[in-house]
Amino acid sequence: MEFRLDEGQIELQRTVARFCADRFPLDALADREGRPVQADDWQALADLGVLGLLVPETDGGSGLGVVDAALVFEQLGDHLVPGPVLWSLLAAPLVGDVVTGGCMVAGVESSALSDGAVVVDHAAEIDVLLVVHPDHVSAHRLADLPAPVPLDAVDPLATVGRINGLGEGDRVGDAATAAQLRLLGTVLASAMLVGVSDRSLRVARDYALERHQFGVPIGSFQAIKHLLADMYVRTQCAQSAMYAAAAVLDDPDSSDPARAAAGAKLLAADAAIENATTAIQVLGGMGFTWDMLPNHLLKRAWATEQDFGTIDDHAAHLGATIDAMAS
């Protein structure tokens, strides 16, 4: 058994954390509201190797594993990094020029389709739309699609658009690829949510130590302490389950990847939403203002909960496969 990150992983984590703090500082969030992804930011993400993490080295990527990618996405969640990074990473092995930053990809699961239209994050900014169908994966050049209709985004740091009708697109993957993309997406979305949980905890913790009431830090009050303790426990549980799921994806014979991924998403989404909500409560009146971090963390948590299956979806999936859980 080994729960520790190896040295390469720790270095990777540090590098990404530094990069994010530098390029996406959280004290300047207001500047990022409603803004499209900036070209230089996207190029920098590509240059850092984020988009090609899972592409073999022979194809220009980093050839890393899912646990490594999970570490990176934890940081992206922690720093509220904008843009369709997850979908582009998933598409990188299937669509040209993604690794180098030359092609930005967003995507939807076909379950998101209704009356032929899809709602896509960053719809107006992307080059290619990836659609994960139950039995195959298709890619659609934005140029061939009707122009996206802009909508209000749940997460103010993103843009979102509705695309009315997709056409056929190019078939870029089979049923196995579709299944694999869904699993990877679920685990890496979980990783982002763990990042959001952990950031929420740290924001609340810092405030509880700084803010004084009646002459003492509010973190001296048992009610605040217990809120923080519960935030810590939620983060740790979600993180443990998420790493375990990532490890199972790296070694699919060791356990059931679909089950592990579903459990991770369920716990991570719950932890992120609850922790961001609790951060608002701990910060009190300030926490409830738009410009403060808890608002953005909660919006990111709500938005990411929707990606690759909601809490309810995953609970239903686990329910359907309960027999496999009987120990």
Q: Which residues bind a copy of itself (CB under 8 A)?
A: 221-223, 226
Q: Are strands 149-151 and 105-109 parallel, antiparallel or unpaired?
A: unpaired
Nearest approach in angstroms of CB 153 to another protein is 9
> Kind and range of the H or E element at 303?
helix 293-306
Told to check if 171 binds another protein by CB under 8 A, we report no
Please tell me whether residue 323 binds another protein under the rule CB under 8 A. yes
Does 100 participate in binding another protein (rule CB under 8 A)? no
Chain center to CA of 191: 6
Residue with tokens 């209709």: 149
Report the distance separating Cα 57 and Cα 61, nearest Å.
5
Contact indicator for 157, 82 with CB cutoff of 8 Å: yes
Give whichever of 32 and 51 is closer to another protein, judged by the CB atom. 32
Of 51 and 201, CB closest to another protein: 201
Tell me whether residue 28 or residue 326 sits nearer to another protein (CB atom).
326
- Give the CA distances from residue 61 to residues 54, 55, 149, 164, in Å, rounded to whole numbers and listed in that order: 7, 4, 34, 34
Query: Sign of dihedral through CA atoms 135, 140, 146, 150?
Result: positive
From the list another protein, a copy of itself, none, which binds 236 (C-beta under 5 to 8 Å, kind-based)? another protein
DSSP 219: G
- Report in angstroms how near the CB of residue 219 gets to a copy of itself at its nearest: 12
Q: Which stretch binds another protein (CB under 8 A): 56-64, 90-98, 99-107, 300-308?
A: 300-308
Residues 6, 7, 11, 12: is their CA dihedral positive or negative? Answer: negative
Least separation in angstroms between CB 311 and a copy of itself? 21
Segment 233 to 292, residues that bind another protein, using CB under 8 A: 233, 236-237, 240-241, 243-244, 246-248, 254, 263, 266-267, 273, 277, 280-281, 284-291
State the minimum distance, in angstroms, from the CB of residue 222 to a copy of itself: 4
Strand, coil or helix: 129: strand
How far apart are alpha carbons 215 and 236 in whole angstroms?
32
Q: According to CB under 8 A, which residues from 215 to 234 bind another protein?
A: 216-217, 219-226, 228-233
| Binding partner at 58 among another protein, a copy of itself, none, C-beta below 5 to 8 Å by kind | none
